[in-house]
Amino acid sequence: MSIRERLSGNEAVATAMRQINPDVMAAFPITPSTEIPQYFSRYVANGKVDTEFVPVESEHSAMSACIGSQTAGARTVTATSSCGLALMHEMLYVASSNRLPITIAVVNRALSGPININADHSDSMGSRDSGWIQIYSENNQEAYDNFIQAFRIGEHKDVQLPVMVCQDGFITSHAVENIELIEDDKVKAFVGEYEPKEYLLNPAQVLSVGPYDTPMYYIEHKRQQAQAMINAKKVAIEVAKEFEKISGRSYGLFEEYKLEDAEQALVIINSTAGTAKTAVDKLRAEGKKVGLLKIRLFRPFPAEEIAQALKNVKTIAVMDKAESFSACGGPLFAEVRSAMYQLIEKPNIVNYIYGLGGRDVRVEDIETVYSAIEDLKEPENVYRYLGVRE
């Protein structure tokens, strides 16, 4: 029987960590993710977990310590935000190329500069090609559920990749919501014990980790890494089906909200999906055929599945809470438009950059986007900003 609670997103993730009881957590504080290691360190101090907590001097050191412990055979977690994730950037590639299933809670926050501590997705989107699986969470419940599933996905024998579980800073990380927790024993049984096949502290095996990779072998290793990311899509679906059995909550690669007969659709990620759903409900009540596709799994990107889900809509607005400075749109837009290219008859599609630096996005703002794409005819300007003072 599920346990009803009222928790912030940070508390929810820390609770999931407690239930999983990882071997090592190495972390350095940064707003708005600081509470996660803070809460978890209490569990360590109170003896509720037997995790080795490693306080370090920087986020670069945090990921370095995580790489060391996971290589040694220890299930390892951490948490960070914004410039902390950016400081880890070098080591993110080391973790993924060494096929180390570290799990990190990323509490999304704008990257400097100018200095800003509020939510957008420039941090995790800046790491989108580092070889980490990326899962995004609309609310506190999803942050909790996704974090539990992340271990099963990353540690699967056909994957063996690190996983980022993302949620919006302050919007979900600090806001308290009703949440249903799963019993500790069920979570522990679901995740299982970490039993790596190869690890440095195995006395029966000679192992070298992170050696120089010559041109004779490097591309083959990258191909193996790429295949692991491809495999993660199938594994994520399998894990979600098993998770539904213990939670009653269903997850897929993405969520289709009133999309079955929609003529206009938004593609969106993380907490703004909740605002957009309210706008969809309001416009549906007015007789408008609008819908929403909320991406959960961004890496690996489910291109074929998204194209099929959106093939019957007339117009699409892809909402990016990050700017890629490509001069033609944001990162989510580039992925979605590329996915739609394979279709013979393609919907008209535009991009909206919104909410940078935590700029508030209201239901009325989402309604203006639906209104703008209602009669969209091969737009000249596909690269747009929402709510900017020109």
CATH code, domain with 119: 3.40.50.970
pLDDT > 70? residue 160:
yes
Q: How confident is the model at residue 1 (pLDDT cuts 50, 70, 90)?
A: low
Domain that holds residue 283: 254-385
Domain end marker among 247, 275, 292:
247
> Would you say residue 357 lies in a domain?
yes
- 202 with 298, same domain: the answer is no
Helix axis angle for 140-154 and 184-191, nearest 10°, is 30
- 127 with 184, same domain: the answer is yes
55 token code pair: 């306080």
- 23 with 68, same domain: the answer is yes
- 51 with 146, same domain: the answer is yes
Whether the CB-CB separation of 108 and 120 falls below 8 Å is answered with yes
Statement: the pTM of the whole predicted model exceeds 0.95: yes
State percent of the chain over pLDDT 90. Answer: 95
pLDDT > 90? residue 2:
no
State percent of the chain over pLDDT 70. Answer: 100
335 token code pair: 């992925």
- 43 with 143, same domain: the answer is yes
Q: How confident is the model at residue 378 (pLDDT cuts 50, 70, 90)?
A: confident
d(CA 390, CA 381): 15
Domain count, the chain: 2
pLDDT value at residue 265 = 98
Mean pLDDT over the full length of the chain: 97
| Rounded (5°) CA angle 50-53-59 | 150
pLDDT value at residue 113 = 87
pLDDT value at residue 375 = 87
310 token code pair: 């959106």
